[in-house]
Structure 1
Amino acid sequence: MTTFSLCMIVKDEEEVLSRCLNSLCDIMDEIIIVDTGSTDRTKEIAKKYTDKVFDYKWCNDFADARNFAASKAVGDYIYTADADEYLDNENKEKLRQLKKIMLPEIEIVQMIYHTPAELSTVYNFEEEYRPKLYKRLRAFTWIDQIHETLRIDPVVYDSDIIVEHRPLTNHATRDFKAFERIAADGKRFSKKLHHMYAMELFRSGEDKDFLKAERLFKRTLEEDGRSIDEVKEAFCVLARCYRLKGDAVAFMECALKDAATTLCAEICCELGVYYESIGNVSEAVMWYQNGLTETESILDIRSSGEIPKLALRRLGMDV
């Protein structure tokens, strides 16, 4: 039968680790837990489930820690879990059955990651597919009868297994510190990380988080090779920064540059807040209405729904 290795990186997870491991331990053939510096009972709890508990000197790199954990595995497939997630009984049984019938050509299994909206610091949706199980060793094969080439696209199976994600605390503060460290090092953000940072700012950021991000997103506008999506994300973040700082000229420059492409709902809401703050209610209403009915959000879906609706009601408009 196919073998599964559970690989986890943890730190100070004593409140949730047992919940996670109890839902997975009898399906996994080995459990590998890499501790990145816990000061609570995390390691003590982990050792109740496995003798493969390793210390890892944290270097501000989650990917490196994941790779370290994976390097200790010997199973056919690696199952990656965070301590604040778990499988309920129904989905645990689905994973057990999948293990019995796993086809060897499958290289990645995606599962439905479910985070209730009130617990999400980043995403605009409660469910998304995520790669949770992947083949530890991948074989490369030649394809095509002529002009043959190596198959580089993995064989992915989208399962109906639902992983419940239930964090006990908001991770936004931790995330923003990590983003800020990367920016301070002068490293270029990948397109994905750029989007994640901007999205998390709008979903969970406080004013101080936006102001700390200003330098990084100004750099986006100076770097070569940035996509229009990244540029628009930068305009959204910078517009908020300039509005907070009271720099109306720079604020309007960002708004106008965004409008030169396709105006987004985030900028409409920023304009609404700006005009409301200077007492121009009719102009504020117009921009909130545009956010609600004429534009789409690119970072926070609430900017084309909940946010302008509440603002319009506050200003005495029927919505």
Structure 2
Amino acid sequence: DEEEHLPGCLESVSGVVSQIVLVDTGSNDRTVEIAKEHGAEVHEFPWTDDFAAARNVSLQHVRADWVLWLDADEELRPESREPLRALLRDPEAGAAHLCIHNLMGDRTVSFLTTRLWRHHPTVRFRQPIHEQILWSVAPYARRYGRRVVEARDIVIRHYGYQPSVAAKRGKEARNMGLLEKLVHDEPTNAYALFHYASALRETGKLDEALSAFERWEPMAMDEDAGQVHWLRVGFANYAAALNVAERYDDTSRLLARAEEKCGRGASFHYQRALALHRLGKNEAALAQMASAHSAPRDVSASVESVDFQPMLVPMLTAEIYAALGREDEARRLFSEALAVAPDDPSPRVSLARLDIAADELDSAAAHLAAALESQPDAPLTLTTLAQVELYRRNFDEAVVLLRRAAETDGSGEAARLLGEALLITGDTDGAFRVWDEAEQSNAAAAARALVTGADGEGPPLAGLDEAEIDAFWTLVGKIAALCSDADIAGGHLAAQFAGQAAGDATLRADLMRVFLKHRFRPGIDAIRRSD
């Protein structure tokens, strides 16, 4: 069922390939018809929960000397045609790692993977999910004395993991189901368990991911050293999960064990630097990033880490410089990251945030608009642009952007900000509906305290826990910043709350500090009138 993306895929290789082989595993839409219209040979194969099996059927029908592997939701970039033709003329080349740009909403995962090889009966796919061709390409290349080359200038853009596309197709649920079955059927398959643990982490199931990684580590230690190319990525993904869990000491200990098994790797230094950065040890983090630049990098297939995403090194280094207040160096490295990965919104969003901090809102908006051209439903880009519109006091536009972001944002941040924007514009009921639907209880509790306090109903912050109090002060600060000199509903609400807080000296003093910081004149005047 690939009628939406298949035309773009087939048109992207028109005039480049001499044969198109498509294996259909049971489409109910116009996929087969579209394929035939574009001159493809279509072969039917019943779906057996095994991607490698289906792909190997396609190889049985290949008559050409070379094989280029594309999924239906992928396109060969136009600028890649000539480099591809040149590579095919190389008599020493046996296969090539091409550059994949996985568009995933807020980020683009760029990595090298084996997508081009000389057709040979010994070269076949392995593993039912996250299927591999490299494991048979490498022995073939060694046997016949051919090279496996890195072709970074041949780029394939993959759309299937964009939030709107993935949600429509249920890709995450399908992949997770296949991985669960594989891990159950082959409990000693370290490669499968690695991908299962990584998938759990990517879907937010952190405790389950860490448990799976703990089972995986002793299996990884028993793997042959020849598997180091993906073991290194597995250890890096495990370290990433520990960093998300804020278990930074465990990260350090894990990476020490990983280096004993796999040697140094750029991803290991990267994860160490990330842990140090989050602990505020930014000078030490910079030293680790310097080591990441010079550390060995591996090339593998369909695995993700800094080893295959060169953009990540300048990005994290830039974030560390920004934390140290070295803005010029941060901007230079964010721009370097953008040059490496122009499809990735992350560098543009980071540049926009520096612009927002410097009150350069037009420049910020330009960066974000450019980011949305490549990934129009990226939640973080949309929410950051919405914040620019809030600072410009284009509240209606901000609400539209935040509603778009909330449709694909799994973190709940877009919903939290949408509720704040609605509250500021006076749509209190709409704000609470958004927060309730997104289960943003802290934001709802904070706003409820503000509303009831403004009405003079009881002690303003009574009954709030620590997280809700933090959310309250975040909300008050946001209102003070956005409503400082304008006639806006949220500003009236905050000023009314300040007037009702006259009996609480501590609360009044805290409010005054926030209002003075943001020069929120209505709130300052309300407190002074109540003295």
TM range (shorter): 0.5 to 0.7
The answer to whether the 8 A contact 1:235-1:258 is kept is yes
Q: For structure 1, list consecutive stretches of 5 or more residues without a partner in the other structure.
A: 1-11, 139-150, 276-280
Structure 1 268/259 Cα, relative in aligned 2: closer, same or farther at 3 Å?
farther
Deviations 1:218-261 (A, max 9, x none): 23321223547766545443344344445566455435545777
Q: Which has the higher strand share?
A: 1
| 1:306 to partner: Cα distance | 1.3
Q: 1:34: how far off?
A: 0.7
Share of identical aligned residues, percent?
20
Distance (Å, rounded) in 1 between the aligned partners of 2:42 and 2:216: 40
Please tell me whether residue 61 in structure 1 is matched to residue 50 in structure 2: yes
Which of the pair has more CA radius of gyration?
2
1:152 corresponds to: 143
Query: Which among 110, 113, 128 is matched to residue 98 of structure 2?
Result: 113
Cα pair 2:97 2:116 within 8 Å, conserved: no
Alignment of 1:271-310 (within 5 A): 271-273=276-278, 275=279, 281=280, 284-296=281-293, 299-300=305-306, 301=310, 304-310=313-319
- Total equivalences in the alignment: 274
Q: Larger helix proportion, structure 1 or 2?
A: 2
In 1, distance between residues paired with 2:49 and 2:215?
22
CA displacement at 1:87 relative to structure 2? 6.1
Q: Secondary structure at the match of 1:286?
A: helix
1:306 & 1:92 partners in 2: Cα distance?
30
Residue among 59, 75, 95 paired with 1:70: 59
1:307, CA displacement in angstroms? 1.6
Matches within 5 A, 1:250-265: 250-251=250-251, 253-254=253-254, 257=257, 262=264, 264-265=269-270
Structure 2 CA distance for partners of 1:217 and 1:15, relative to 1, 3 Å: same
Inter-partner Cα distance in structure 2 for 1:248 and 1:156: 40
Q: Which 10-residue stretch deviates more, 39-48 or 24-33?
A: 24-33
CA shift at 1:33, angstroms?
A: 1.1
Match of residue 135 from structure 1: 119
Aligned with 1:54: secondary structure? Answer: strand
Cα distance in 1 between the residues matched to 2:148 and 2:254: 42
- Kindly tell me: are residues 39 and 233 of structure 1, through their superposed partners in 2, closer, same or farther at Cα, counting changes over 3 Å? same
Give yes or no for contact 2:103–2:159 (8 Å, CA) kept in 1: no
TM-score, length-normalised on structure 1? 0.62
Shift of 1:70: 1.5
CA RMSD of aligned residues (A): 4.7
* Amino acid across the alignment from 2:189: R
Q: How does 1:1-40 map to 2 (within 5 A)?
A: 12-24=1-13, 30-40=19-29
Instruction: Give the 3 Å change call, closer, same or farther, for CA 117–290 of structure 1 in structure 2.
Output: farther
- Using the size of structure 2 for normalisation, the TM-score is 0.41
Which residue in the other structure is 1:208 paired with? Answer: 204
